[in-house]
Amino acid sequence: MKKSDNKIATLEVAAPKFDAELYEKMCLTWAAMEQAYKTALAGTESFEVDNIGADLAYLLGAMLTETQVTLARGNPLLEILEEHVNVGSPIWDAIRKTEEVDELESVPDRLSREMRERFNKLIRTNSNAAGRLTAELNEISFRVQKIEHEIDNKREELQELQAKLKECLP
């Protein structure tokens, strides 16, 4: 092994710069997510009740990606959070409240009770499925951003190594 080869093998890449503002923002987001999770856990016996787990995952995904989740008034998760979380909490930055869509939720009185319950269950199921899909899309988007960031870092490392290699070559 040549002396120059040994020199190349021991080169170190500089660590990325620490961003204090980003770190503080991440800490606040994680703290708010933890608060939302603990509040939902304390407010329900099980996440299976009205599929609150999917809504919570949807909310946490929105908080991570700095987007908003739409929760209709009367949503069990929204009711729990409204009861236990202060108005100034960062949790509310990720929640957009809407009114229930009366046309979808109201089922004609002339239908039997069983049919009304079936329609309402179908509406809730579709709404919950949309929430789960949105949470999954948010998670995928977050992963893509993370991968893109890693690619950029590796590209910078490669450029630095190429520059150092040029310095070592005669």
Question: Alpha-carbon distance 105 to 126, whole Å?
Answer: 12
Question: Where among 104, 132, 156 does a domain terminate?
Answer: 104
Distance of alpha carbon 45 from alpha carbon 97, whole angstroms: 24
Provide the residue range defining the domain that includes 85.
20-104
Helices first, then strands: H and E counts in the chain: 6, 2
Do residues 100 and 111 both lie within one domain?
A: no
Q: What are the tens digits of pLDDT across the range 16-37?
A: 677 777 777 777 777 777 878 7
Q: Does 14 map to a domain?
A: no
Do 165 and 96 sit in the same domain of this protein? no
Residue 27's SS3 state is helix
Residue 91 has pLDDT above 70, yes or no: yes
Domain annotation covers residue 56 = yes
**Average pLDDT across the chain, whole number:** 73
Q: Do 92 and 141 reside in the same domain of the chain?
A: no
Q: Which of 92-101, 103-112, 158-167 has the lowest mean pLDDT?
A: 103-112
Q: Quote the CA–CA distance of 30 and 7 in Å, as a whole number.
A: 42
What does the alpha-carbon distance between residue 43 and residue 20 come to, in Å, rounded to a whole number? Answer: 34
Does 52 map to a domain? yes
Give the model confidence (pLDDT) of 133-163 as tens digits.
777 888 888 888 889 999 999 999 999 999 9
Split into its structural domains, the chain has a count of: 2
Burial (CB count within 10 angstroms: exposed 0-12, middle 13-18, buried 19+), residue 116 = middle
Q: Is residue 7 part of a domain?
A: no
Residue 1 lies in a domain: no
Q: Which one of 50-59, 68-77, 103-112 scores highest in mean pLDDT?
A: 68-77
Tokens of 34: 């933890």
Q: Is 85 among the domain residues?
A: yes
